[in-house]
Structure formats: C-alpha cells, structure tokens
C-alpha cells in the first residue's frame, strides 16, 4: 500500500481523497495556493505545502512546484482529483519519471483519450459506435467548411483537447460555420492551450449517459453501471442520478460491455468513465472517455456500495481488484445536486464571499461532499462549486423526497447559492417523470424567464 499521498487539488475533492486515505492508513499531503491557506483540506491533511499565488496557473497548474512538494514531503503517490492537472499526460509522465505513483491511468492512455479526434478513431477501430464525423486534422476554416458539407447539418465543432463544455459550438447551417469554428478554436486555445478542432454530427436531444469503469494492473476490468447526466446548462452538468430511468436492463448490460471494450482498447487502468450519447431510438454513440475520477462519482458509490477513491488507491498500490462483474448489483437510487456559489437570477454569475451562517442537511440516506464551513471565505479564483448534495433511497421517488427535504434544510448565509434553483428543478414534472434530455434545462429556462 502507498505510504503517503499528495493531493494535487483543492476543495471538496481534496477533502474526499484525504478521508479515503485516512481510512486506509495512508498519510496525506495537501497543497494549497495563497488564497486557500485557510481551506478545509489544508487543515485535515497530515501536512500542507503552499505551492504559489492564487491564480491556478501559478499554483494548482504549477507542475514544478507540485512535484517539488512531493519530493520535499516524501510522498510516494499523487492523486490529481478532477480538473486542473488530472488529465495532463505530461504531468502523469513526469510523476512516473520522479518515482511518484500517479493515481490514475498511464500517461499514454490519458494522451490518447485526451485527443478527442484520435479517441474517436481508436473507438471506431475497436468496434465501439461513434457519432459520424471527421477524424483527421482540419487545416483551416475553409477545409472545415468542406468537411461540414459532407457530414451534414446540424453538427458540432469541438475542441480536441477539451472538456467541461468548453470549446464547443453547434452549427446548423453553412452560414454559421466559420464563425463557430473560429470561436471554438480561440476558446480551446485559451482554456486548454491547444486549438485543434474536430467535427461530428450533432445528435438532437440525446441523453448523456456515462458508465463507470475500474481496471487494475492485472487485466481485471469491470463496469459499475451508469449515471444519467442529461440535466445540463451550457454543457455543464447540474444534477445527476443513478441509475438512469431511460435504460432497460438489456440495454444497460449491452452498453456496459461496450464501455469495457472501449477501456480495453486503450489498455486502461484505474478509475475512468466512458460517456455516451443515446438518442430516442436507443442508438448509442461513444462521446469521450474521462481518464480520472468524476465529480458525480458519489452516486455510483451509493448504489453499488463501492468506495471508488479507495479502489483507486488500492489499484495504484498494485493490489488486484477483488470485485468481479457478477458482484456488481445496482441497489436503490441516488441523486446528486451540485451546489454552487452563484446567482441563478443573474445568469448564474459566480458569487464568492464569506460564509456567515451555515446549516447542513443530514439524516439517513443524505451525504454532503463539501469543504465549506462557517467563516470560510470562498475565493473568486476558482470554480464556483462548493459542494455536492447526494441522497440515496430504495426507490427514485424516495430519493427525490429526501433531496427535497435536504435542500430545504440547507442554508448558506453570506453568499448567494443555487440551492433554491435545485429545489425548483427537482419539482419539475419532466424530472419527476424521468422524461428529459440534454436540451430540457435550456428550454425550460427560456420558458421560465419568459
């Protein structure tokens, strides 16, 4: 087992990883920026090292400073969490070269799946269904327009190295193409330092469904069922649930096996997620693979009883996966609401500030993954998510009732949050019926504001 793990992240995911390490008897090292000196993760870890000023580029994206902190503290493992450097193949490779175990897949897998165009090509060769599109390099907007005419509209231009809904534009006609292409290209360069773009057919009003994967160093590979992630705003997930109300048992099993095939195609190890688009006729297409732990991993933990972060740590410690596919049973239902310090009435503008009052929900079947506390100052430098509220029950109806009650209990004073918005969302008829797709929330918001 690893002896000491450095968590190259912040906020609730850093706290989540520290807790898993502590339960396995692993020492922890927190890293923090100057803005996060009083953050909860720095207080919970066995050691804490400042790695730079508030801007992420100078701290949480500063590879040299993070690796120096590993050497300074004698950490033999590094968990990247999600975001920041979690899907940076160069960072993963440098960890390996410094004899620090990167708690995630090999850098080759990260690099391969990080290039969305290349990933499509690999999946296509492996027999995994992909959305019709163009796998090659696009020279410029004229070349892109020529390709678009062959694929047909509507289509999507997407950042090859993208994620988190950035660098994506929907194009419905040739007149829109060049502006959308160049805008997406510029956004991709700004967000990822890589302006490569690929083009694929746009699947109208699909479901966004992802399968959780675990794979060890000994060739064992399992999936842990799916998560429904179709409630999105501007390609950003808002609420997730497991299992999906849309999948039949036979389709679930079929997609799970395809997800495993996709992971095998890149010799994948550790935890990962295969994301699919599913249309109304139950045709499904590979969208991308996330080579890290996901924000929404708790709902899979709740319905399977498996601690994914602990499994990550065990796999990284070269311990064989003891769970077999036949051991995976999806029991009950779980829902996760992302709690953000933002103002839904002002176009979801981030609202950093000091938490002056705090009442957290609790009770059987309620889980809150967060790093906030009364008196904590939410910095303006990072993502606005301050926690994830998760409920679990035997049925979906019970899980919704628990979520409604928990959101009513959740009070954060001093900053504006989206708690009331989430409370509104879970009472919508379409959500209650499980009858929604990726277009639902944007269309509902337009009607709500009208």
d(CA 59, CA 55): 7
In the three-class reduction of DSSP (H, G, I as helix; E, B as strand; rest coil), residue 242 is classed as strand
Residue 85 sits at φ, ψ, to 5 deg, of -100, 10
Please name which of 410, 418, 448, 417 lies closest in space to residue 430, comparing C-alpha atoms.
448
Of 16, 292, 338, 367, which residue is the catalytic one?
292
In the three-class reduction of DSSP (H, G, I as helix; E, B as strand; rest coil), residue 14 is classed as helix
d(CA 52, CA 431): 43
Cβ-contact 45, 109 below 8 angstroms? no
d(CA 64, CA 194): 21
**How remote is the C-alpha of 25 from its chain's centroid?**
27
Is residue 252 annotated as a catalytic residue, yes or no?
Answer: no
The two three-digit tokens of residue 419, written as one number: 């708690």
Q: CB count, 10 Å around CB of 110? A: 26
d(CA 213, CA 222): 6
d(CA 78, CA 29): 9
d(CA 157, CA 177): 9
Residues classed as catalytic: 292
């Amino acid at each position: 087992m690893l002896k000491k793990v450095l968590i190259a992240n912040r906020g609730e995911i850093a706290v989540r990883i520290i807790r898993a390490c502590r339960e396995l008897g692993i020492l922890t090292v927190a890293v923090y920026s100057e803005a996060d000196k009083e953050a909860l993760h720095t207080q919970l870890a066995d050691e804490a090292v400042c790695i730079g000023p508030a801007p992420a580029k100078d701290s949480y994206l500063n590879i040299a400073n993070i690796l120096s902190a590993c050497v300074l503290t004698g950490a033999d493992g590094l968990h990247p969490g999600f975001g920041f450097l979690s899907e940076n193949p160069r960072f993963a490779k440098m960890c390996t070269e410094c004899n620090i175990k990167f708690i995630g897949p090999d850098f080759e897998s990260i690099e391969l799946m990080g290039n969305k165009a290349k990933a499509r090509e690999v999946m296509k060769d492996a027999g995994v269904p992909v959305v019709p599109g163009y796998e090659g390099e696009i020279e410029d907007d004229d070349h892109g327009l020529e390709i678009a005419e062959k694929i047909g509209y509507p289509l999507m231009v997407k950042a090859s190295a993208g994620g988190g809904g950035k660098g994506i534009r929907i194009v419905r006609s040739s007149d829109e193409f060049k502006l959308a292409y160049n805008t997406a290209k510029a956004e991709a360069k700004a967000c990822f330092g890589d302006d490569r773009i690929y083009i694929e057919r746009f699947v109208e009003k699909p479901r966004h469904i992802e399968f959780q994967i675990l794979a060890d160093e000994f060739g064992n590979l399992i999936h842990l069922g799916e998560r429904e992630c179709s409630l999105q705003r501007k390609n950003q997930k808002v609420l997730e649930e497991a299992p999906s109300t849309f999948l039949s048992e036979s389709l679930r099993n079929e997609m799970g096996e395809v997800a495993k095939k996709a992971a095998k195609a890149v010799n994948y190890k550790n935890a990962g997620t295969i994301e699919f688009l599913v249309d109304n006729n139950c045709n499904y297409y590979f969208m991308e693979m996330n080579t890290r732990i996901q924000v929404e991993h708790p709902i899979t933990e709740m319905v399977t009883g498996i601690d994914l972060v602990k499994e990550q740590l065990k796999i990284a410690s070269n311990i064989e996966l003891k769970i077999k596919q036949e051991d995976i049973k999806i029991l009950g239902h779980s829902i996760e609401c992302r709690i953000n310090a933002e103002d839904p009435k002002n176009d979801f503008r981030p609202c950093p500030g000091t938490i002056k009052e705090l009442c957290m929900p609790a009770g059987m079947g309620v889980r809150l993954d967060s790093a906030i506390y009364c008196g904590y100052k939410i910095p303006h430098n990072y993502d606005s998510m301050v926690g994830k509220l998760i409920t679990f029950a035997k049925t979906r109806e019970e899980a919704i009732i628990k979520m409604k009650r928990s959101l009513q209990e959740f009070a954060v004073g001093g900053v504006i949050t989206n708690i009331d918005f989430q409370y509104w969302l879970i009472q919508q008829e379409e959500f209650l019926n499980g009858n929604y797709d990726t277009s639902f929330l944007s269309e509902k918001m337009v009607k709500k504001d009208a």
